[in-house]
């Protein structure tokens, strides 16, 4: 554990350095996973890929890559949480996962055709694990550098740094791809791998700021048994949660509607490329619109929840998500899809922020295990991502239509709505 007595909390320069880690790694989350890589993967691979003797669509392979990455992350998360909370080696592991993620991202430069698809698949999975692993240790620094009354303010600072940094890099990528001839490329698609390298360098480069400024790790070896501590904590939380019906109902609702949310966010770009013929520049415009609208949307539903309560606000958003999926099944033009992206942006930020704050309302007052309860929530989040992306790929594989997959997500939202409808918020005793 850290000797926090010698750490000056709420130091502006330390908090600013901490926020720069969000500036650094959010570029991967926005530029690679959401905006550029899905369409590039679609363009670089054949429509049907042989997988274990079966012919599988390339978009199904892509969605299952996300499922596999997040399944591995879900299995690793308790281990990483144990190290972060009890091992005293936050910065060391933060460096390891940052190096893994950024180098894997740069390796995507060598994914240039179907013959090197394995580079794209392995690189994407490892980069996603590096991103998620780094976040665990980044978040664990918050109580080390700030007092509890400053958590919201400091966390918001990290979010704003991440948004600004990722948008700056995404716009830079757009300039390079749209003006590919300036950089010696014969066509725009050949300029896309430059974005992968730029993200990797941006990620590892700006990460040096927090690595230099954040508190040093505890000296000495990690305590014995720390590797299984996170799993022990999850088992303890599960014993409490399974005996409390309201919390189980909320987590059931969250699992289903979050599966839909994450599938939409991860796979909207590949849907737009495959079904509507979007090119990379159009996908970047799409994501920029979504990001900008999401800021106002989060603020809107924060006010709505203040007036009618979290549960009713979540019910409204689940209905909107369901309608988005139903309309998405019928969408035919690029303009229609841009309008749909505006609707996604309105509910995207609010759904994620209200879900976490609603879960917090179930926790016992003055519990010493807040971190363990939220670790349980984060694992639920990742497992629902696995379920949503896997279902999306499976339905497309079985029906031959991504539009059917979108309707399947509507069903997930409906199930989530039912759980939320019967829920009554009550704290764990």
Tens-digit pLDDT profile for residues 134-180: 888 887 788 788 887 777 678 778 878 888 898 899 999 888 888 88
Domain end among 167, 202, 223: 223
Domain end among 223, 253, 285: 223
Tens-digit pLDDT profile for residues 199-242: 999 999 999 999 999 888 776 676 667 777 778 878 888 888 88
Q: What's the mean per-residue pLDDT of the chain?
A: 86
Q: Spell out the residues 6+ positions from residue 95 whose beta carbon is closer than 8 angstroms to its own.
A: 207, 211
Contact between 428 and 363 (Cβ < 8 Å): yes
What's the rounded mean pLDDT across residues 27-49?
Answer: 88
Rounded Cα gap, residues 97 and 108, in angstroms: 17
Domain of residue 258 covers 230-429
Rounded Cα gap, residues 152 and 156, in angstroms: 6
Pick the closest to residue 146 from 19, 274, 294 (CA basis): 19
Integer CA distances (angstroms), 388 to 54, 180, 391, in order: 22, 36, 5
pTM: 0.85
Tens-digit pLDDT profile for residues 380-412: 989 999 999 999 999 999 999 999 999 999 999
Domain end among 169, 203, 223: 223
Q: Are residues 54 and 177 in the same domain?
A: yes
Other CB atoms within 10 A of residue 175 CB: 10
Q: Are residues 247 and 210 in the same domain?
A: no
Instruction: State the total domains in the chain.
Output: 2
Alpha-carbon Rg for the chain in angstroms: 21
Tens-digit pLDDT profile for residues 59-82: 999 999 999 999 998 898 888 777
Tens-digit pLDDT profile for residues 103-139: 999 999 999 888 899 999 999 999 999 998 888 888 7
Local structure of 365: helix, strand or coil: coil
Rounded Cα gap, residues 28 and 34, in angstroms: 9
Q: Are residues 265 and 336 in the same domain?
A: yes
Contact between 21 and 162 (Cβ < 8 Å): no
Rounded Cα gap, residues 28 and 165, in angstroms: 11
Q: Are residues 219 and 234 in the same domain?
A: no
Q: Is the pLDDT of residue 5 over 60?
A: no
Q: Are residues 215 and 291 in the same domain?
A: no
Q: Are residues 290 and 412 in the same domain?
A: yes
Pick the closest to residue 28 from 81, 104, 93, 91 (CA basis): 104
| CATH code assigned at 212 | 1.20.1250.20
Cα dihedral 105, 109, 111, 112 sign: positive
Integer CA distances (angstroms), 356 to 31, 74, 378, 386, in order: 25, 17, 9, 19
303 — pLDDT class (breaks 50, 70, 90): confident
Q: Are residues 166 and 260 in the same domain?
A: no
Question: Tell me, what's the pLDDT at 297?
Answer: 81
Indicate the length of the chain as a whole number. Answer: 429
């Amino acid at each position: 554990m850290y000797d926090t007595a010698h750490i000056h909390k709420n130091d502006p320069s330390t908090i600013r350095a901490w926020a720069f880690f969000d500036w650094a790694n959010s570029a991967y989350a926005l530029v690679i996973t959401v905006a550029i890589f899905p369409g590039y993967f679609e363009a670089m691979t054949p429509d049907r890929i042989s997988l274990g003797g079966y012919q599988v669509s390339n978009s199904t392979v892509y969605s299952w890559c996300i499922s596999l990455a997040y399944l591995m992350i879900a299995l690793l998360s308790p281990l990483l949480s144990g190290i972060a909370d009890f091992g005293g080696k936050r910065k060391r592991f933060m460096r390891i996962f940052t190096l893994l993620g950024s180098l894997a991202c740069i390796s995507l430069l060598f994914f240039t055709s179907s013959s090197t698809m394995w580079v794209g698949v392995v690189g994407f999975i490892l980069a996603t694990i590096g991103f998620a692993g780094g976040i665990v240790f980044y978040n664990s620094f918050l109580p080390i550098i700030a007092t509890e009354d400053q958590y919201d303010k400091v966390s918001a600072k990290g979010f704003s740094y991440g948004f600004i940094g990722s948008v700056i890099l995404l716009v830079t990528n757009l300039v390079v791809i749209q003006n590919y001839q300036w950089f010696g490329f014969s066509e725009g698609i050949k300029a896309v791998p430059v974005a992968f390298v730029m993200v990797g360098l941006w990620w590892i480069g700006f990460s040096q700021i927090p690595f230099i400024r954040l508190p040093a790790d505890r000296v000495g070896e990690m305590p014995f048994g720390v590797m299984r501590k996170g799993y022990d904590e999850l088992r303890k939380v599960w014993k409490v949660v399974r005996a409390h019906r309201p919390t189980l109902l909320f987590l059931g609702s969250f699992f289903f509607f979050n599966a839909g949310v994450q599938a939409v966010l991860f796979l909207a770009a590949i849907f737009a490329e495959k079904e509507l013929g979007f090119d990379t520049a159009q996908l970047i415009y799409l994501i920029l619109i979504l990001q900008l609208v999401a800021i106002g949307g989060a603020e809107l539903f924060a006010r709505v929840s203040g007036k009618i309560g979290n549960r009713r606000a979540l019910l409204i958003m689940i209905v909107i998500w369901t309608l988005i999926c139903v309309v998405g099944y019928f969408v035919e033009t690029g303009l229609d899809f841009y309008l749909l992206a505006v609707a996604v942006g309105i509910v995207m930020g609010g759904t994620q922020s209200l879900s976490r704050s609603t879960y917090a309302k179930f926790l016992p007052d003055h519990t010493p295990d807040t971190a363990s309860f939220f670790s349980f929530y984060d694992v639920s989040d990742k497992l629902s991502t696995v379920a949503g992306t896997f279902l999306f790929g499976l339905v497309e594989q079985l029906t031959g239509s991504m539009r059917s997959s979108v309707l399947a997500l509507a069903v997930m939202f409906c199930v989530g709505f039912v759980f939320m409808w019967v829920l009554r918020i009550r704290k764990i005793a």
